[in-house]
Structure 1
Amino acid sequence: MTNEEVTLYLWKQASFYGLLADYYKCANPELHHYYGRKHVEALCRLAEQVARYGDPFDQQSPNANGPLVSPASGNGNPSFPNNVLGAQGGGKRPDEPSNSAGYSGYGGYDGYGYGTNGGYSAYGSANGYTPYGANPYNEPYYGGYEQQSPYIRTEQPSPNPAPPPNPNNMPPSTYASVRLLHASPDAPAVDVYANGTLIASNIKYKDSTPYLMIPAGSYSIEIKPAGSQTAVLTKTVSFKEGTAYTAAAAGKLANLTLNAYVDDVTPVQGQAKIRFIHLAPGAPNVDIKVKNGPTLYSDVAFGEAGAYLTVPPGSVDLQVFPTGSNKAVLTVPGVKLEPSTVYTIAAVGLAGGTPPLEALPLQDS
């Protein structure tokens, strides 16, 4: 990706998490704070990207004050990423009145623990580029961060600058990234807990979450009907550092299972990558073929995932056959595969039942 594309990607990411944080403000305080942290993290990466490579919307804007030093790490809650930045800052934009508390559009924003003197106080600050300042998050729920300002503007390039953002879903080395998928055809919407902490709420059938960054390790995963405190499934799952996963709840409610599949989120330049997962309970082993073309996967049983395949990009018609049969039970026309993109295609639903058998495409990167 070009520097401009990375900047625009980070802008979209920050907006996305900001909208989620706002949505959950009343409905789910835990998710409100969680996505608030991710919103701040994305904003900080965006600020660093713009400081290094310029503003793509204003080609005349100078980048005269040098790059930014990577933020200091902290001691956040182990259930959530701990590299989100602190809160309070001083200083004003040049066009802010002297009695303002920073960027007036966001001044304070104490729902995320910025404090009433917070805001985007980077612009024109006399005490350095401290967009989110030195104050740690003030909720005990989040733990603390370094008391030093996480970003300091320097006149010379940092000897160890932070790496450019990774637009794929590859987690940092000490984290795993986990996407949750609801593939149980008769289960209600569910809430998912990890070690007793709510990590996703009200996931409906065929819904999936974005990749969630969590510290690597073992977790007791509980799946509960949305709003209920009674788990319908509890399972211990281990997630390795630097690895991406799809954790799929599948099978009928009475025999619910949770399987964690390792995702290969590294794209092949100019090619597409696909993988098939059989998540349709009651369906026999299946073969996946290109219509009037080759067989991609053979004899895939319920709960199994085929290996990733590198294929040419374009539009393709796929068909699902019971293994050994020449009669397709499902045809999926016009599956669009973009270059340099990774996909998972899951078979969900009930063969000959309701909800019907169908293909659910997911984009891994």
Structure 2
Amino acid sequence: MAHRTAHAIGLVTLLLIATVAWGIAAPVGATTDADESAADEQLEERKQTIDPTATERAIVQGDNESADDESEEANTSRIRIVHLSPLIPEITADVGFETVAENLSFGTVSDYEVVEAGETDLEVETTENGDEILETEQTLEPAGSYSFVVIGDVTANETVQFQPALLRDEFEAPNESEASIRFIHGSPDVSAVDVTVAETNTTIAENVSYREDSDYVTVPAGNVTLEVREAADDNSGEIIRHVNLSLESGTIYSAAVTGYRNPDETPVDVPLNVGVFEDARLENESNESE
């Protein structure tokens, strides 16, 4: 069974930056102009390879994939668990007969795990005593990547209502000077929101409601300020939260709002916060050591 870890997002900045090894571009044996041109083309092709696991285990894809590898990809999917509810204790999650997350607490996200595609059972239980929180049947498309978001709210009789969301992680590779980011709405007492970048007035998300996510949007890499606003025409609503981020080039992120806008009126005193975690990044490989 593959080694699994839970990455802490943290409740202050909720910032997750996974450590992924980058290869060093070093073409060997380029003695002619034609050879140098071919090496440059090969390097550019490799720079567009994506590591969709976003874990400490960098996956380097070779130039020639076997038929078995292609067949396996066509019959499998990737899924991870994102714990965004302060109401729900530490959890363990199974997809089919495979444990995909263990000891996952609020503000953490598991690694992507490879599971069989198609209709499958997804079970979530408390880690401490094994009480089942949820059992649901989900359909995972072949070669798809998914985030199963753990969120919930409190009903009128003060019981926790589990309200998970299965999100499809569909992104395109940004170029070397850009990053890609989407927004996940995980705060029960916040209405629909827009999300903008203060420096460029770029809209990251528009009219996103609780339990929904936006499409991925490409932005310039570097230091940016995200503004979470009440949804309004022209994305000009009141700013209810902002967060300063440092986005690395060639990297794909998800930003998520968690907690409560009015924590005094909820069972847990967890104020509104915005966190960011890494979904994937471009591989930068040219030659592997022998």
Q: Does 1:316 align with 2:217?
A: no
| Residue aligning to 2:215 | 307
| Residue aligning to 2:276 | 361
Q: Does 1:349 align with 2:263?
A: no
| Residue aligning to 2:186 | 279
Distance of 1:173 and 1:268 partners within structure 2 = 24
Cα distance 1:195–1:296, how it changes in 2: closer, same or farther (>3 A)? closer
| Residue aligning to 1:269 | 175
| Residue aligning to 1:78 | none
| Residue aligning to 2:141 | 240
| Residue aligning to 2:128 | 227
| Residue aligning to 1:257 | 163
Select 2:103's aligned residue among 182, 202, 205. Answer: 202
Distance of 1:310 and 1:294 partners within structure 2 = 9
1:78-157 alignment runs, 5 A limit: none
Distance of 1:358 and 1:331 partners within structure 2 = 8
Structure 2: which amino acid aligns with 1:227?
E
Distance of 2:135 and 2:65 partners within structure 1 = 38
Q: Does 1:328 align with 2:234?
A: no
Once the 2 structures are TM-superposed, how far is the Cα of residue 266 of structure 1 from its aligned partner? 3.9
Select 1:181's aligned residue among 58, 61, 82. Answer: 82
Cα distance 1:287–1:187, how it changes in 2: closer, same or farther (>3 A)? same
Structure 1: which amino acid aligns with 2:151?
A
Distance of 1:265 and 1:209 partners within structure 2 = 19
TM-score (norm 1): 0.52
Q: Does 1:35 align with 2:3?
A: yes
1:51-66 alignment runs, 5 A limit: none
Q: Identity percentage over the alignment? A: 23
Once the 2 structures are TM-superposed, how far is the Cα of residue 290 of structure 1 from its aligned partner? 1.8
Per residue, is there more helix in 1 or in 2?
A: 1
* Structure of higher CA gyration radius: 1
SS in 2 for 1:35: coil
Cα distance 1:320–1:221, how it changes in 2: closer, same or farther (>3 A)? same
| Residue aligning to 2:12 | none
Structure 1: which amino acid aligns with 2:198?
K
Checking the alignment, whether the CA contact within 8 Å between 1:235 and 1:258 is kept in structure 2 is no
Checking the alignment, whether the CA contact within 8 Å between 1:265 and 1:364 is kept in structure 2 is no
> Which ranges of structure 1 fall in alignment gaps of 5 or more residues?
1-32, 37-52, 55-159
Structure 2: which amino acid aligns with 1:230?
D
Structure 2: which amino acid aligns with 1:329?
I
TM-score (norm 2): 0.64
Distance of 2:197 and 2:100 partners within structure 1 = 37
Distance of 1:331 and 1:268 partners within structure 2 = 24
Distance of 2:182 and 2:202 partners within structure 1 = 15
Distance of 1:198 and 1:295 partners within structure 2 = 37
Distance of 1:304 and 1:347 partners within structure 2 = 11
Distance of 1:227 and 1:220 partners within structure 2 = 22
CA RMSD of aligned residues (A): 2.7
Structure 2: which amino acid aligns with 1:279?
G
Structure 1: which amino acid aligns with 2:242?
T
SS in 2 for 1:267: coil
> Which ranges of structure 2 fall in alignment gaps of 5 or more residues?
5-26, 29-62, 155-159, 264-268, 281-290
Offset from partner CA, 1:61-82 (integer Å, 9 cap, x none) = xxxxxxxxxxxxxxxxxxxxxx
Q: Which structure has the higher relative contact order (CA within 8 Å, separation 6+)?
A: 2
Distance of 1:34 and 1:228 partners within structure 2 = 24
Structure 1: which amino acid aligns with 2:149?
A
Per residue, is there more strand in 1 or in 2?
A: 2
| Residue aligning to 2:284 | none
| Residue aligning to 2:55 | none
Once the 2 structures are TM-superposed, how far is the Cα of residue 239 of structure 1 from its aligned partner? 0.9
Cα distance 1:238–1:315, how it changes in 2: closer, same or farther (>3 A)? same
Structure 1: which amino acid aligns with 2:3?
Y
Offset from partner CA, 1:319-355 (integer Å, 9 cap, x none) = 111223743211102x112211111111111112121
Moved more, 224-233 or 206-215: 224-233
